[in-house]
Amino acid sequence: MGSSCVVGLQWGDEAKGKIVDLLCDQHDVVVRYQGGANAGHTVVHEGVTYKLSLVPTGILRKGIDCVIGNGVVIHPPALLQEIDRLSAQGIDFGGRLHISDRAHVILPYHLAEERLTEESSSTADHLGTTLRGIGPCYRDKVGRVHGVRVIDLFHPAVFRDRLDRIINYKNRLLAAMLADFEPFDPRTVADEYLDDAETLRPFIRDTTAWLHQSLAHGKRLMFEGAQGSLLDIDHGSYPYVTSSNSSAAGIAAGSGVPTRHIDRWIGVVKAYTTRVGGGPFPTEQDNATGERIRRVGREYGTITGRPRRCGWFDAVAVRYSARVSGSTEIAIMLLDVLSGFDELKVAVAYEKNGQRIADLPASLADFDLCQPVYESLPGWSEDLTGVRHWSELPLNARNYVQFLAQQVGVPASIVSVGPDRRQTIMVAAGTRA
Ligand code: GDP
Ligand code: IMO
Ligand code: MG
């Protein structure tokens, strides 16, 4: 088995971190290819919880190399803080972290710009972002005139000169929009970023060249998606999405590695659905069912602490995202959270104006008109957290997993029944739906 990708098929927080950590045994390198510190991936092992944001999850495993690819957006102060935090937990970075010289840099004005749109505009324009500067940084990347890349921090004179012009422009814009705006001082910002760059210097390289060399030496790569396919800028529920290609579509662009190198295409889903921030969510349960899922599943944001919106599994949405992300197997996570429901519902289609539709609508207005068509399955009462083998799962739990796989059209290869690495069931190929 060679290289793999692990991507979320819902709106993020599908427990991708757990799967990446689990599969490290079969890989040599973990690669982040998009997003930034908006991600929050949790790994629990032997009672210790690790939270990863910008650093690839592979850093938790000795001997695994980790790449922050060109498609990621990096806020150096946040990255250094994360490195310090993980080091304090005993994680050894020794020569294992590789950061792309082409990745774009998040600057303080990006955070201010995001606060401006998220906090000062009318409620209708709020997206409910993570306020990590992700959108404004990608906007400058695509706009080109104001984009700053990691490599620029290693040409100090040019960087200072350019930052002077950029900050002059941003200050004028922000001052016009914000009453109490304190202008940014280009020299202070440049000093801080050049200092941080020196600390990061040993990690910086041409990661695309490094990855191709690794492949040539027979190394097995694992691409770790952040966010989820339904938050993809092109394929998600626009505009309530993130600003990168968070489906598998982003892998080649965000790492420089063609996807023909990937053998295993793993889509990660929760056994239900959650979403943080605004946007359509046809199967949302804004009621006792949703509250129960939130309570039992501890559905609060890893990074922002925001309560997640919760609802039933949406097979229409996952069928769509599994197609976009090319998933050939799915990992079904947090199955344990559903213990104790008499009845479980799964959306198998949407109905719009009395007509059944099988695909996701492009427009928000159409999304609003869609009513999920549910099929109900009997639940189970047993606690699943101690189950380690497929055959030990209650029949109704097995039927539920098989039903999800059939609806999505992709076999379930992994079932997770708790946050710990060991609370995992590998589904043998012969038993998959
Ligand atoms: P990610 O962003 O996709 O990596 O997911 P998050 O880490 O943001 O959210 C998943 C949460 O579920 C984390 O708190 C995990 O520790 C937890 N988790 C993972 N798998 C399971 C599981 O099977 N059961 C339960 N109860 N929790 C799980
Ligand atoms: P992981 O990798 C869940 C959501 C935000 C918001 C939208 C845009 O942990 O699954 P952004 O800050 O990216 O511009 O916000 O995307 N979002 C996530 N939701 N999990 C994430 O990451 C997310 N990253 C961003 O809540 O709705
Ligand atoms: Mg998360």
Find all residues with CB under 8 Å of 241, minimum gap 6, and list them. Answer: 230, 231, 232, 233, 279
Q: Ligand 1: residues within 6 Å at CB?
A: 8, 13-18, 40-42, 44, 297, 302, 333-334, 336-337, 416-419
Best probe residue, ligand 2, of 129, 137, 304, 321 (max atoms within 8 Å of C-beta):
129
Instruction: Tell me the pLDDT tens digit for each residue of 92-112.
Output: 998 999 999 999 999 999 999
Report how far residue 299's alpha carbon sits from residue 332's, in angstroms, rounded to the nearest whole number. Answer: 16
**Domains of the chain with CATH codes:** 3-93+207-426 (3.90.170.10), 104-202 (1.10.300.10)
Predicted confidence pLDDT, tens digits, the chain (433 residues):
699 999 999 999 999 999 999 999 999 999 999 999 999 999 998 899 999 999 999 999 999 999 999 999 999 999 999 999 999 999 999 899 999 999 999 999 999 999 998 987 666 678 999 999 999 999 999 999 999 999 999 999 999 999 999 999 999 999 999 888 999 999 999 999 999 999 999 999 999 999 999 999 999 999 999 999 999 999 999 999 999 999 999 999 999 999 999 999 999 999 999 999 899 999 999 999 999 999 999 999 877 788 999 999 999 999 999 999 999 999 999 999 999 999 999 999 999 999 999 889 999 999 999 999 999 999 999 999 999 999 999 999 999 999 999 999 999 999 999 999 999 999 988 787 6
| Nearest partner of 423 among 308, 340, 341, 331, judged by Cα | 331
Instruction: Tell me the pLDDT tens digit for each residue of 255-276.
Output: 999 999 999 999 999 999 999 9
Q: Provide the CA 393 distance to its chain's centre, in angstroms.
A: 29
Q: Is residue 102 packed enough to be buried (19+ CB in 10 Å), middle (13-18) or exposed (0-12)?
A: middle
Which residue minimizes the CA distance to atom 19 of ligand 2?
12
Which residue minimizes the CA distance to atom 17 of ligand 1?
419
Best probe residue, ligand 1, of 11, 13, 44, 385 (max atoms within 8 Å of C-beta):
13
- Structure tokens, 43: 């790994």
pTM for the complete prediction?
0.97
Which atom of ligand 2 is found nearest the CA of 231? 16
- Structure tokens, 284: 């949302």
Q: Is the dihedral of CA 137, 143, 148, 150 positive or negative?
A: positive
